[in-house]
Every structure is written in structure tokens, then in C-alpha cells.
Amino acid sequence: MAQTFDTEAYTKALYAARDAIRTFINKSNAHPILLRFAWHDAGSFSGANGSIRFDDELAHGANGGLRKCVGYLQPFKDQFPILSWADLIQLAGAEAVLLAGGPRIAMRYGRVDAALARVRQLVLHAGAPRARRRPRRRHEGRVPVAPHRRRAHHRPRLRAFLRALQEKPGGVLRGLR
């Protein structure tokens, strides 16, 4: 048996939630944290699916301080239970941008929430990405050449032109080798 979905009720709930979230954002000045919350949800293991509300993802170091956003949006989820967490989070992020003076972000709604079991499986098997620095390359005393300059010096005509500029008195590229 096919499950029916009432798009009209979902749309009305989205507009009502948008108005309520606008009031909340203006009153609490929560623009930055809600935008960051939406950004981190979209950048999670499987996209903007509301999975950031789970402790497994909130425990990741990059998501520090975002736990309070779940508390900020919980009253809206309780008030509009038809809306998915994924849509609610992205709606809050888009409204935060708009109310902060940014552009209106064209959004498509109707996302399906992530299941906790799926999030745990992704975290366990993929491992949470670690923030680490790339090891510095050793250049044996010479300064590394930027890639765009390296490509430019491999073209003969451009190399001759650059050489001519270097040889001019007071040339623009004096000292470039």
C-alpha cells in the first residue's frame, strides 16, 4: 500500500515554520550559529539529511558548540511535526542568511531524515574525518614555485616575454627566476 503525502499541508507548515523561525532569529540574534549548523549538516557524511542532530555527529570536534542548535530548533519541530529535521535545519540556515542581509537562497524541500542506525554505520565504517595538517614538503633550500608560475615558464613564448621583461632596466619582474 502506497503511503500518501500531503504536499499542501507540508507547504503550509513550511511557511508557518519560516515565520516562526524568522521571529526567533531576530529576537535571539542566532544568525551565525544556525547558519553554521545548516552548513555542518550539509557537509556531513551523507548530505543535508538532519543527521547532525545525533550525538554521534555532534561529538565530532568540528561540530563543537552546535548541540545548542538542536535545542533551538526542537520547539519548531514539536510545533510542526510534519516537517523533517533536514528541512527544518536547512530552512533555519537559509533564513539566517536572508535576515543577516544576504541573498535569498533558492531551496527545495522534502528531504528525508537520516536514521540513527545509518549515521552510526557511516561513522563507524568511514571514521570521522580528522582535522590534520599536511606534512610540509622539503625543498632543499629553494623557494617553492607557485603552480601557475611553473606552468607559465614551461611555455616558450611566454618564457621569452618574461625574460625580456626581466632584462629591461627597472623591469616589473626583476629578480624573478
Q: Which 3-state string (H, E, C) describes 86-123?
A: HHHHHHHHHHHHHHCCCCCCCCCCCCCCCCHHHHHHHH
- How many whole angstroms separate alpha carbon 112 and alpha carbon 87? 8
SS3 of residue 160 by DSSP:
helix
- Is 60 part of the annotated catalytic residue set? no
**Residue in 40, 125, 148, 154 annotated catalytic:** 40
Burial 3-35 (b: 16+ CB within 10 A, else e): eeeeeeebeebbeebbeebeebbeeeebbebbb
Q: Using CA atoms, how far apart are residues 44 and 23, in angstroms rounded to an integer?
A: 28
CA distance 177 to 163: 9
Active site residues: 40
